[in-house]
Structure 1
């Protein structure tokens, strides 16, 4: 596994990837014990590389996909991912990193395919019609990654409730991201606000960033953040089952991403004039707060979540291609009595 590359070299490249790609998660990752941190970086490198390829941001790399269609790029991601999981070299450091961490942590092909299916939705120009559609997308691009992260942290496959809560954390992160990035997504021709929400506020498709709709946009962003807070609260219960350093790291990440959503709500109509972020000092404060919570424990959720991992998995499978018909003989096919 790892495409025949040296493990330490792969970890070094993965460390560079997270340092450049996510300041928030990079800070939290250094609270992990070293084996967990290394595997976290390996998994992040794959996620970051897939995102870059899917968005056509891969320039000068080995894949030469600059002129490929969105569908071709997603197909390349899937092929390389499957090769890596099969222990084959991919000629790409990030995919080889996935092969290594998958073998060490028990990450499965289904888990990876669930994430890639999110890139597929974007490649198709998909936009959510209902709240359920939105949550299914959040499952693919973040909830499924949360499950993979739980495996990296040693959560066994039969610990379903803990895996469910890891999925909740991914959902919370993505809902916060969507609220923060509404303007950026619009500039890229994407909208993750459900069409039924836009219709509720009498906003024609594609016009939600117009000044006259800014008040309604604030309300929809608040709805996203409220949903994120529900899933965040459930995720914290799962984090409480982890060893101390892993618990501290996860709660730190949850605090930092939650603060992004809170800042979007605080800035209201100004939230999309500049990209919302947290400062280094604020991140430190969230890490300290997470340390206290890691010792004292998290509060029980005050509200039940509607969109559980099980429900979203069913939606994802129902939306996928129909399973093939098994090529097995019917009962007694080809069998004749001796007197026939």
Structure 2
């Protein structure tokens, strides 16, 4: 299946194919919800999504790996090295780092703004020194680089039926909603890393501080104040989902089932957290397999309908026609914002 995706995307260089395969493995291993949704995309676009995810995961692992013996200075040096290889790659100097090589190729094929990657790396760098956020505004500034830009990177790959700039705010909001969901689900794991991604003022409004979270994590005992704070965080997250939801209709119809499925599955994580009594400090909330299967089947039905509608010509912004070829290699040029293209699925 991997070869089919790479063939459809027009990726023929053996080294580049190997780089994309590594990104796909990272996606399949670490991003189960994201990977499942990606399976609903047209095959030619899947490698690009794997590349974006794979690079982000690689950087995140440098910062977050609890099993590594690396010191903070070692992690900072590793992250700086990755940032340098990324800069070189985006500047046209080849990189041997597989995740960088795949990312650079995807950025060229889909004309993704380089500033999105710079902002992402800045947020990853802050994770090495910042352990908490006084207010939601402070957290949103961090999430611009760690989450909103992920939605913006994805937008050219997904394609839109409106100009890209019009769809961008909703795409950014969806990236933030997904990350807020992860923050709520992973409160305990993040606390083990010395970080709290819930705004301090939100916690304080319910009488919660870091010491109380640490006590609950250590003892395994719940506390009604913590539960109330986590409920508040869930409500805040659902508000961001509502902000993002209209953006699904702005996407290319053949990409909508993928994003709708991710939207529903990530929202189901919030449901799982609530159903488990907000015990996220003590165990990881999991969406039941049956629920995941139902959502996946619905996505497949939507894909079939979208492909049937795609049989005729349509206008779309932001994604290349057919498998885009490497820039300067005689293939299809990268997509430019505002260009109207057609694609068969």
Scaled by the length of structure 2, what TM-score is found?
0.76
In 2, Cα distance between equivalents of 1:157 and 1:206 = 48
Q: Which residue of 2 aligns with 1:121?
A: 126
For residues 161-172 of structure 1, what are the structure 2 equivalents within 5 Å? 161-172=166-177
**Aligned partner of 2:233 among 221, 224, 237:** 224
Per-residue CA deviations over 1:192-227 (Å, capped at 9, x if unaligned) read 122222322333434324247732222222222222
Deviation at 1:83, TM superposition (A): 1.4
Say if 2:99 is the partner of 1:90.
no
Q: Which residue number in structure 1 is paired with residue 6 of structure 2?
A: none
Q: 2:84 aligns with which of 67, 79, 88?
A: 79
Q: What aligned pairs does 1:180-259 form with structure 2 within 5 A after superposition?
A: 180-211=185-216, 214-259=223-268
Task: Confirm or deny: 8 A CA contact 1:252 1:286 kept in the other structure.
Answer: yes
1:66 & 1:91 partners in 2: Cα distance? 25
Match of 2:269 in 1: 260
Alignment CA distance shift 1:120-1:67 (3 Å): closer
Structure 2 partner of 1:318: none
Post-superposition shift, 1:157? 10
Q: Residue in 2 aligned with 1:28?
A: 37
Counterpart of 1:268 in 2: which secondary structure?
coil
Does residue 100 in structure 1 map to residue 109 in structure 2?
no
Question: In structure 1, how many angstroms separate the alpha carbons of the residues matched to 2:278 and 2:158?
Answer: 39
Alignment pair present for 1:142 and 2:147: yes
Q: What is residue 280 of structure 2 aligned with on the other side?
A: 271
Change beyond 3 A, Cα 1:279–1:150: same
SS, match of residue 134 in structure 2: coil
- Gapped runs of 5+ residues in structure 2? 1-10, 306-345
In 2, are the aligned partners of 1:71 and 1:124 still within 8 Å (CA)?
no
Q: Deviation string for 1:316-337 (max 9, x for gaps)?
A: xxxxxxxxxxxxxxxxxxxxxx
Partner of residue 283 from structure 1, selected from 292, 307, 311 = 292
How many angstroms does 1:43 deviate by? 1.1
Q: Paired residue for 1:335?
A: none
Distance of 1:272 and 1:159 partners within structure 2: 39
The verdict on how the C-alpha distance between 1:115 and 1:157 changes in structure 2, with shifts beyond 3 A counting, is farther
Deviations 1:239-265 (A, max 9, x none): 112223310000101111111111112
2:137 aligns with 132
Gaps of 5+ in 1: 297-340
- Contact 2:161 / 2:251 at 8 angstroms: preserved in 1? no
Instruction: Determine whether 1:10 maps to 2:15.
Output: no
Bigger-Rg structure (1/2)? 1
Residue-pair matches, total: 291
Counterpart Cα distance in 1 of 2:202 and 2:60: 27
Given the superposition, is the C-alpha separation of residues 5 and 163 from structure 1 closer, same or farther in structure 2, using an over 3 Å criterion?
farther
When residues 151 and 132 of structure 1 are mapped into structure 2, their CA distance, relative to the original with a 3 A threshold, is: same
SS in 1 for 2:237: helix
Give the CA deviation at 1:266: 1.9
The CA distance in 1 between the partners of 2:122 and 2:14, in whole Å, is 28
Aligned alpha-carbon RMSD (Å): 2.9
1:29 is displaced (CA, Å) by: 0.4
Aligned residue for 1:69, secondary structure, equals: helix
**Cross-structure match for 1:310:** none
What is the TM-score of this pair, normalised by structure 1? 0.77
Larger RCO: 1 or 2 (CA < 8 Å, sep 6+): 2
- Classify the secondary structure of the residue corresponding to 2:213: coil
Cα deviation, residue 57, structure 1: 6.9
